[in-house]
C-alpha cells in the first residue's frame, strides 16, 4: 500500500481513494496477510527479518524527522510575537516538566538497567543520552541559536524514550 500511494499529492486522485477507502478489500486482505506468514518457509522469514532491519532504521529516521518538525513548529508558534507573552508560563511549565521527566527517566534507567558495573553497554547508552540532552540544551541556549528551553526539553523526552526502548 505504501508503494502504491507514494507521491500522492491530491486528495481526489485514484491512488488516494485506495489509501482512504476500499475498506471491504482491506478487511479481506487483513486476515489473509496475517495467516500467510505462517505458511511460508523459514528461509523467506529469515530474509524478511534481514530486510526488516533496514526498514526499521528508515522508520526511525522518518519518525525522528517528524518529531523534530513538530517540535520546531510548536516552538515557533510559542515564540511568535503574537503568542510569546501569553504562552510564556505554558512554555516554562512544559519545559520544566519535560526536563524533570527526562532526569527521572535517566535515573530510573540507571537504577533498573545498570545496577552494577558489568552492564557497560547500558551504562554507555544512558550516559550518552544524558550527554546528548546536555549538548542539545547548551546549543539551544547559545546566543546565536536562541531556541529557548522548549525544543531541547521535548527532544530530550524523545531521546530518553528511544534509549529506554533500546535497553529494556
pTM greater than the 0.85 cutoff: no
* Model pLDDT for residues 38-58, shown as the tens digit of each residue: 999 999 999 999 999 999 999
Cell of 8: 500522492
pLDDT tens column, 16-33: 677 777 788 889 989 999
pLDDT digits (tens, 9 = 90+) for 67-92: 999 998 888 888 777 766 777 888 88
Amino acid at each position: 500500500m505504501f508503494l502504491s500511494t507514494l507521491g500522492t499529492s491530491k486528495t481526489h486522485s485514484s491512488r488516494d481513494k485506495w489509501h482512504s477507502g476500499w475498506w471491504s478489500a482491506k478487511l479481506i486482505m487483513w486476515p489473509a496477510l496475517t495467516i500467510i506468514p505462517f505458511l511460508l518457509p523459514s528461509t523467506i522469514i529469515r530474509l524478511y527479518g534481514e530486510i526488516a532491519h533496514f526498514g526499521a532504521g528508515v522508520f526511525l529516521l522518518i519518525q525522528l524527522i517528524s518529531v523534530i518538525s513538530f517540535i520546531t513548529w510548536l516552538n515557533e508558534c510559542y515564540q511568535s510575537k503574537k503568542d510569546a507573552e501569553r504562552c510564556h508560563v505554558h512554555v516554562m511549565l512544559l519545559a520544566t516538566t519535560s526536563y524533570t521527566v527526562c532526569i527521572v527517566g535517566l535515573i530510573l534507567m540507571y537504577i533498573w538497567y545498570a545496577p552494577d558495573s558489568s552492564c557497560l553497554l547500558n551504562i554507555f547508552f544512558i550516559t550518552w543520552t544524558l550527554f546528548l540532552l546536555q549538548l542539545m540544551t547548551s546549543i539551544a541556549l547559545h546566543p546565536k541559536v536562541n531556541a529557548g528551553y522548549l525544543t531541547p526539553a521535548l527532544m530530550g523526552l524523545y531521546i530518553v524514550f528511544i534509549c529506554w526502548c533500546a535497553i529494556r
